[in-house]
């Protein structure tokens, strides 16, 4: 039977091959037992998150090293559509090798990009983006359980849309991360406002503390102010102060290097950054599978240094400690 016989061809084509692959054969689906976590010397974290409005739900398992706060193993179980399964699978993969705080920086757009067949074509239609937002939220839940704090201390959990259970923090983050410009886009990405519509703007059947039109206006205004401030900072790596250089290096590590290491169960962290004799020396410590690997002093080290040269400056030297 042809695809067009199963579903409208144009809609079917909005899903990437990677979404289909992850949906049919998830790499990280399963669970982690207490015994498995204990064998790794790790603390087991089990977090549940779901959306009552669409019935999707995900359970995330982390085995976290309590000495380093690093996620050694991640698994998930998901009830819901194929996009929810694919997004949860990527979310689990991206968290492996990161510290809990680093995992909190994983965004729904990072999950969606990981599912793309190419950089230019979205992996899923906009109305399914709420599935990757759910993966983003379950990470916050897992982090709050590990840290033994209220989730509200990690995110602003004022609920804006009661129907879809979408928080103020999530809406602000989604606007920023995805550069949203309309209320309709917020609804497509989060499902906020898709049901009773009281949260869209004042005048609905139920009064709300926050409305999407106001959140969008205020968040866009904040983004414009930050953009103006960012333009004032030096873009040339050589012109940056040491703190700015440190931030730029960490950005490259997060975007270009750590994901590649995590794919093989490893990671790394910056121990120190110093300036000496016209060079920037970055002292790193390998973590996970990278620790003790023979390639860590050869191929992996060269990969890290070459990437920093390409993205920032040729005078960067990387030394493992």
Whether residues 208 and 300 fall in one domain: no
Whether residues 184 and 119 fall in one domain: yes
Residue 196 within any structural domain of the chain: yes
Query: What are the tens digits of pLDDT across the range 223-282?
Result: 998 887 766 655 688 888 887 888 889 989 999 999 989 888 889 999 888 888 889 999
Whether residues 101 and 168 fall in one domain: yes
Q: Which residues contact 155 (CB under 8 A, 6 or more apart)?
A: 140, 167, 169, 170
Residue 21 within any structural domain of the chain: yes
Whether residues 69 and 218 fall in one domain: yes
Whether residues 148 and 217 fall in one domain: yes
Residue 231 within any structural domain of the chain: no
Asked whether residue 22 carries a pLDDT value surpassing 50, the answer given is: yes
Q: How many domains does the chain have?
A: 2
Whether residues 257 and 176 fall in one domain: no
Q: Closest by alpha carbon to 304, among 258, 262, 263, 273?
A: 258
Residue 317 DSSP code: E
Residue matched to tokens 């139920």: 206
Whether residues 191 and 316 fall in one domain: no
Is 163 among the residues known to form the active site?
no
Whether residues 216 and 88 fall in one domain: yes
The predicted structure's pLDDT at residue 5: 39
CATH code where residue 49 lies = 3.90.1010.10
Catalytic residue of the set 54, 81, 196, 293: 54
Q: Domain of 282?
A: 237-320
Is 293 among the residues known to form the active site?
no
Query: What are the tens digits of pLDDT across the range 180-221?
Result: 999 999 999 888 888 778 899 998 777 888 999 999 999 999
* Dihedral sign from CA coordinates of 186, 254, 43, 32: positive
- Whether this prediction's pTM lies above 0.75 is answered by no
Residue 96 within any structural domain of the chain: yes
Catalytic residue of the set 131, 161, 199, 290: 131
């Amino acid at each position: 039977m042809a695809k067009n016989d199963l579903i409208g061809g144009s809609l079917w084509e909005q899903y990437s091959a990677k979404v289909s692959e992850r949906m049919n054969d998830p790499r990280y689906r399963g669970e982690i037992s207490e015994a498995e976590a204990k064998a790794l010397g790790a603390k087991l974290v089990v977090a549940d998150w779901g959306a009552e409005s669409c019935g999707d739900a995900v359970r995330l398992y982390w085995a976290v090293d309590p000495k380093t706060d690093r996620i050694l193993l991640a698994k998930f179980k998901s009830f819901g559509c194929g996009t929810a399964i694919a997004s949860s699978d990527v979310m689990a993969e991206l968290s492996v090798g990161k510290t809990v705080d680093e995992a909190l920086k994983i965004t729904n757009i990072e999950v969606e990009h990981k599912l793309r067949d190419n950089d230019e074509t979205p992996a899923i239609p906009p109305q399914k983006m709420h599935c990757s937002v759910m993966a983003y939220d379950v990470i916050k839940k897992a982090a709050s359980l590990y840290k033994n704090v209220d989730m509200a201390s990690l995110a602003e959990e004022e609920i804006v849309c009661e129907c879809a259970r979408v928080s103020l923090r999530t809406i602000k983050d989604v606007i920023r991360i995805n550069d949203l410009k309309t209320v309709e886009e917020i609804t497509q990405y989060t499902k906020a406002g898709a049901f009773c519509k009281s949260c869209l703007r004042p005048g609905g059947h139920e009064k709300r503390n926050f409305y999407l039109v106001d959140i969008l206006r205020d968040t866009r205004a904040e983004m414009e102010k930050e953009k103006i401030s960012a333009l004032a900072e030096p873009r040339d790596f050589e012109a940056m102060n040491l703190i700015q250089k440190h931030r730029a290096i960490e950005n490259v590590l997060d975007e270009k290097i750590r994901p590649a290491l995590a794919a093989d169960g490893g990671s790394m962290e910056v121990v120190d950054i110093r300036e000496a004799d016209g060079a920037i020396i970055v002292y790193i410590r390998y973590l996970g599978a990278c620790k003790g690997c023979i390639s860590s002093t050869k191929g992996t080290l060269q990969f890290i240094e070459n990437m920093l040269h390409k993205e920032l400056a040729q005078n960067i030297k990387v030394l493992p400690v």
